[in-house]
Structure 1
Amino acid sequence: MQQKQHSSAVGIQLSCSLSALGHSPQQLREQLSSAETSLSLQSGWLPERSVWVGAYTGAMLPHLPDRCGARTSRNLRFAVTALQQIEKALHNLTADIHPARLAIVMGTSTSGIADNEPLLAEYFQGKTDVEIDHHKQEMNALAKGLQAYLGWQGVAYTISTACSSSAKAFIAGQRLLNANLADAVLVGGVDTLCRLTLNGFDSLESLSDTICQPCGYERDGINIGEAASLFLLTRELAPVMLIGGGESMDAWHISAPHPEGLGAAQAMQRALRDAKLQADQIDYLNLHGTATPQNDAMEIKAVRQVFQDYPVLISSTKHKTGHCLGAAGAVEAYICQQVLLDQTWLPLHQQGEIDPELADQNFVKQSHVPKNMSDQLLNYVMSNSFAFGGSNVSLIFGTCLP
């Protein structure tokens, strides 16, 4: 079915992703269509107990070129490892574009702090002569490090708004293109496992003792994950387009969402308005779905406000990836892109008992999507990302048939 084109829509020309789901679209589909866990129980992150995490277990570049300089960290190596999947195609697509017209917008929340954690531990244990290079943990180290690696010269900056960071990077990249400030923008998000975030969420009593259960009856918190997901956006058509996005800011509480989901609903409504769509045109919604009692309750309230009686298919994927913080929006955008490209499956929601107060929703219980040869079943999908402080983002992706 020919889709209406939106004047502000931008095309996803290339994409890549590394996470607990693996390194390929096939691995991603297999993991998200299965009841088997992709998380791992690991020790060493928290004092005296193990914790479930969404760790990337594949190979990673051991070194980066000298041109990356002091920004080199595991976080940047993770990003470049992912980028190498599309690097040749990226150079081919951008070869005729002036480097000053090639931009980068990334999202992260940890940057390279994991590299400095052992040195900081030594410092606080009394080794005051230890040298700590803070450049690698600066938030902009990710975007500037990628810029140095690629040799691009355009706008390059990092967004750090906790769990909405990389979703915001998409909207920022779209704006750069539509404002004619760039001809191609590399967007996405990268976050790596580190003790700071795991112990921080543990101090908030937000970590689950088991594999998290989004919207579950016995949900008790999140699992932390890591991911590197990157996308090249341009104004040209592509098989999957970023159709629109919506943002809002609750400013309700430093770590809790608005209990009625007002900001979350507002972000979804603004995304629909930006995309010039009605709620009943969304075929699938990837929930933020962290598995904390407050977040899931408010998000379902927001879904009810926006979609009302329309039974949109919904699922959270965080029981498979872990909560990837600054990279969450990007890895979930990658999932949405793969769903639209394949057209035969949807990510399963967690298989445990759903909270009766949230069970009126149309959760994805079977991953296989029946194929209707006379029509294209999945046209538009939405992805939610909500962060501390009430920083809310909803993105809408759609198919594009030439």
Structure 2
Amino acid sequence: MEPCFLNSMAMMSALGSHPDDIKQRLLHGNPVLDLSQDYHSGPPLPIGRIQETLPEIPLDDAKYQSRNNQLAWAVAQKIMPDIKAAINQYGKHRIGVIIGTSTSGISDSEVYLREHAESGEMPAGFDYRMQEMGATARFLAVALGTCGPTFSISTACSSGAKALASARRLIRSGICDAVIAGGVDTLCQLTVQGFASLEAVSEQQCNPFSENRNGINIGEAGALFLVSKEKSAIELAGVGESSDAHHISAPDPSGAGAIRCMLACLKDANIDSQAINYLNLHGTATQLNDQMESKAVSEVFGANTPCSSTKPFTGHTLGAAGALEAAICWLSLTESFIPKHLWDGCQDPNLPNIGLSEGAQHSSISYALSNSFAFGGNNISLILRKTS
């Protein structure tokens, strides 16, 4: 199969949006989550919130007026010259848009629904379509003037990574010449309250793979790539997917689905596990996920492959997580560093040892693998390769 490349990348999260700032925070472990009660009726929780002001929506239609679309537009601006160049080169009908998300514009609908509950009338300006799962992909296509395949993927926290896998399939099949692909998810009460009801959130910064881990932090993020056959510094070299359907919210404790996923990804990239220089873990800091993932990683990679979870820096950004963490791998490859694993250092004796990166590491790396293991056993691993 022809190689497929990630020509451009942009991201925004609690880590910021400037590559130098993001790199320094990931290297040195500078925490950026803030305590908030804005999305939860209980005690303040650490939230991975974007602090930057988001731009206005460039379209008047009410169905596009959402914070999710504002974030998507803000991220797209950062790679706009490359997007416009691709449109000029290939034509608007040859450009696809694929966005992974789990909440779309639900945060905006919550405001309207609260007013409706209090007044009995739906406020002017409400449009149900602002929270439709395909809204952000459609918004970007309309705003950019593209008319190739346009759709969203909503498979919980594997969504953003699956958008990249789908982009590669569209390009390899000849349907598209370039695809704008990634993930965008913004904070809302539905998400934070929902995970709180599952007793899955932590009141402190999350602590992945620690004996003291006690749950996730929720965050928001956007990460977009321009994907094409045009050779660039980073190739999307491997994709592995599996679906173990073990439980609606709990992972298969054997790690079998995650193992199949990572092995398929390595096979697709035509490399063995020893070639991977950095592994971005799903690493949610929940009891069951970390138990399963450490078992799977130990089985495939042993204890010597440097790895880390970056969720203590960003929060779990749900539908955007797979794309955001692929973007972090993209940055690690291009800037030659391995993100620090931010935790309390207390190894869980019930977990197998894996190569958690505990200090700042400047390292020239060629291959990075990113894991996203979602609700329902919907799993994906991506391998990014540095080409020069």
Query: So what's the TM-score if we normalise by structure 2?
Result: 0.96
> Any unmatched runs of 5+ in structure 2?
none
CA distance in 2, matches of 1:72, 1:129: 16
- Residue 209 of structure 2: SS of its match in structure 1? coil
CA distance in 1, matches of 2:367, 2:60: 41
- Residue 44 of structure 1: SS of its match in structure 2? coil
Alpha-carbon deviations, 1:14-66, whole Å to 9, x = none? 111000010111011111112331111112211142111101101211x2122
In the TM superposition, residue 316 of structure 1 has moved relative to its aligned partner by 0.3
Query: What residue identity is the alignment partner of 1:106?
Result: I
Could you list the structure 1 runs, at least 4 aligned residues long, displaced by more than 6 angstroms after superposition.
none
Query: What residue identity is the alignment partner of 1:238?
Result: S
1:24 maps to 2:9:
no
- Residue 89 of structure 2: SS of its match in structure 1? coil
1:46-65 paired onto structure 2 within 5 Å: 46-61=40-55, 63-65=56-58
Query: What residue identity is the alignment partner of 1:242?
Result: L
1:56-75 paired onto structure 2 within 5 Å: 56-61=50-55, 63-66=56-59, 70-75=63-68
CA distance in 2, matches of 1:363, 1:220: 18
1:360 maps to 2:358:
no
- Whether the aligned pair in 1 keeps the contact of 2:340 and 2:361 (CA below 8 Å) is no
Deviates more, 1:100-109 or 1:117-126: 117-126
Q: Give me the CA root mean square deviation.
A: 1.4
Give the aligned partner of residue 365 of structure 2.
Answer: 378
Query: What residue identity is the alignment partner of 2:157?
Result: C
Query: What residue identity is the alignment partner of 1:316?
Result: S
- Whether the aligned pair in 1 keeps the contact of 2:93 and 2:147 (CA below 8 Å) is yes
- Whether the aligned pair in 2 keeps the contact of 1:97 and 1:183 (CA below 8 Å) is yes
Aligned with residue 34 of structure 1, among 21, 28, 41: 28
1:346 maps to 2:333:
no
- Residue 39 of structure 2: SS of its match in structure 1? strand
Query: What residue identity is the alignment partner of 2:367?
Result: Y
Deviates more, 1:21-30 or 1:45-54: 45-54
Aligned with residue 335 of structure 1, among 308, 328, 336: 328
| Identity of matched residues, % | 41
CA distance in 1, matches of 2:334, 2:87: 23
Alpha-carbon deviations, 1:253-283, whole Å to 9, x = none? 0000001111111110111111111111111
CA distance in 1, matches of 2:355, 2:276: 13
- Residue 350 of structure 2: SS of its match in structure 1? coil
- Whether the aligned pair in 2 keeps the contact of 1:15 and 1:230 (CA below 8 Å) is yes
- Residue 45 of structure 1: SS of its match in structure 2? coil
1:163 maps to 2:157:
yes
Deviates more, 1:244-253 or 1:47-56: 47-56
In the TM superposition, residue 329 of structure 1 has moved relative to its aligned partner by 0.5
CA distance in 1, matches of 2:265, 2:214: 30
- Residue 211 of structure 2: SS of its match in structure 1? coil
In the TM superposition, residue 90 of structure 1 has moved relative to its aligned partner by 1.8
Alpha-carbon deviations, 1:317-340, whole Å to 9, x = none? 000000000000111011000111
1:220 maps to 2:214:
yes
- Whether the aligned pair in 2 keeps the contact of 1:9 and 1:241 (CA below 8 Å) is yes
- Residue 392 of structure 1: SS of its match in structure 2? strand
Give the aligned partner of residue 280 of structure 2.
Answer: 286
In structure 2, relative to structure 1, the CA distance for the partners of 1:129 and 1:80 (3 Å cut) is: closer
Deviates more, 1:309-318 or 1:20-29: 309-318
Query: So what's the TM-score if we normalise by structure 1?
Result: 0.93
Aligned with residue 185 of structure 1, among 179, 185, 193: 179
Deviates more, 1:165-174 or 1:95-104: 95-104
1:96 maps to 2:89:
yes
- Residue 302 of structure 1: SS of its match in structure 2? helix
- Residue 180 of structure 2: SS of its match in structure 1? strand
CA distance in 2, matches of 1:68, 1:214: 42
Aligned with residue 235 of structure 1, among 223, 229, 244: 229
- Residue 105 of structure 1: SS of its match in structure 2? strand
Give the aligned partner of residue 373 of structure 1.
Answer: none
1:394 maps to 2:381:
yes
Alpha-carbon deviations, 1:310-367, whole Å to 9, x = none? 6111100000000000000111011000111011x21100231232233621110122
- Residue 252 of structure 2: SS of its match in structure 1? coil
Alpha-carbon deviations, 1:102-124, whole Å to 9, x = none? 00111000100100101112223
